[in-house]
Structure 1
Amino acid sequence: MSLLKQMRNASWFWYSMICVLCWGAWALLSKLGSQEIPPDTMQFLFTIGTVPVGLVLLIARRGKLEKSPRGIAYGILNGVLSGIGGLALFAAYHTNGNTTLITAAAALYPMITVVLAITILRERFRPIQALGLFFAAIAIVIFSL
């Protein structure tokens, strides 16, 4: 089976595509909103916007919550870091800087994830993946020109 066909049949691929579509629209709406209201208000409203999603998920689980203290701690820390990162992104958009450049620069976060995954999780890193990160870094330089 070809790699392309394997990807099309993999559930992770479709979840990733939904993510790309939602986050693409999210970035555009973030810029539009940040032109109208301050970053802290955008972050607050962003958080309010996630509440219905959380409620639907809680209802789908019939109110059953997780019991892993470590998992809960990771989830809360994820929310804190996401909130701070979102606030920083809204602040960047609020400066009326170039949306393309801001979004591309912020989208380099996988570089940090890769470094952390290699050092903390001891995940393997192939040369082709290093090449991809190199091109991502070059892309941000090109976007800034």
Structure 2
Amino acid sequence: MVRTAIYFALVGMLAWGVWAVFADLATRTLAPEVAMAISYIVGVGVAITYIAVQSDPVSLSGSGVAFAVAGGVFSGIGSISYYAALQRGNTAIATTVTALYFVVAAILGVLFLGDSVDIRDLAGIGLAIGAVALLAT
């Protein structure tokens, strides 16, 4: 199970790295919101195809749908902001700063989901923030 999670995480890392380059190229000739919309329309097609080839039945629970909708709102806001940052600045900096979303997620997880963090987690977050500070200057 852990090995499968790591496999998917590595594929996600590689795909998002390649996506960042194409997003930057797209914003050179398209408005950020247009580039993002096209990207996400294609992404929805990929997700629907993935769902279609799975053998598991699709289940839509009320709370899950509501959380997915809320996540979509914030994903859209974040994506438009990211594409706008790409259009106006350096790809390495825009991607690195926005990649710190995990810090926000970790803080919210502790505050609202009962997640715990230890000293190693805090050290990792601190080093990540330090790396971004170095890259952004």
**TM-score between both structures, scaled by the size of structure 2:** 0.91
> Residue 39 of structure 1 corresponds to which residue in structure 2?
32
d(CA) in 1 for partners of 2:14, 2:79:
18
Is 1:22 matched with 2:15? yes
d(CA) in 1 for partners of 2:109, 2:56:
32
Structure 1 residues 63 and 13, CA, compared in 2 at 3 Å: closer, same or farther?
closer
> Residue 51 of structure 1 corresponds to which residue in structure 2?
44
Larger Rg: 1
1:101-143 residue CA offsets vs partner (Å, 9 max, x unmatched): 1111111111100000101011110101100000011001110
The residue identity in structure 2 corresponding to 1:100 is A
The residue identity in structure 2 corresponding to 1:77 is A
Structure 1 residues 82 and 112, CA, compared in 2 at 3 Å: closer, same or farther?
same
How many corresponding residue pairs?
Answer: 137
Q: How does 1:1-145 map to 2 (within 5 A)?
A: 10-61=3-54, 64-95=57-88, 97-145=89-137
State the identity %: 25
Which runs of 5 or more structure 1 residues have no equivalent in the other structure? 1-6
What is the CA-CA distance between 1:100 and the residue it aligns to?
0.8
**TM-score between both structures, scaled by the size of structure 1:** 0.86
Alpha-carbon RMSD: 1.9
8 Å CA contact retained: 1:43, 1:90: yes
d(CA) in 2 for partners of 1:51, 1:124:
33
3-state secondary structure, aligned to 2:114: coil
8 Å CA contact retained: 1:66, 1:72: no
3-state secondary structure, aligned to 1:35: coil
Structure 1 residues 133 and 62, CA, compared in 2 at 3 Å: closer, same or farther?
closer
Which runs of 5 or more structure 2 residues have no equivalent in the other structure? none
d(CA) in 2 for partners of 1:58, 1:126:
36
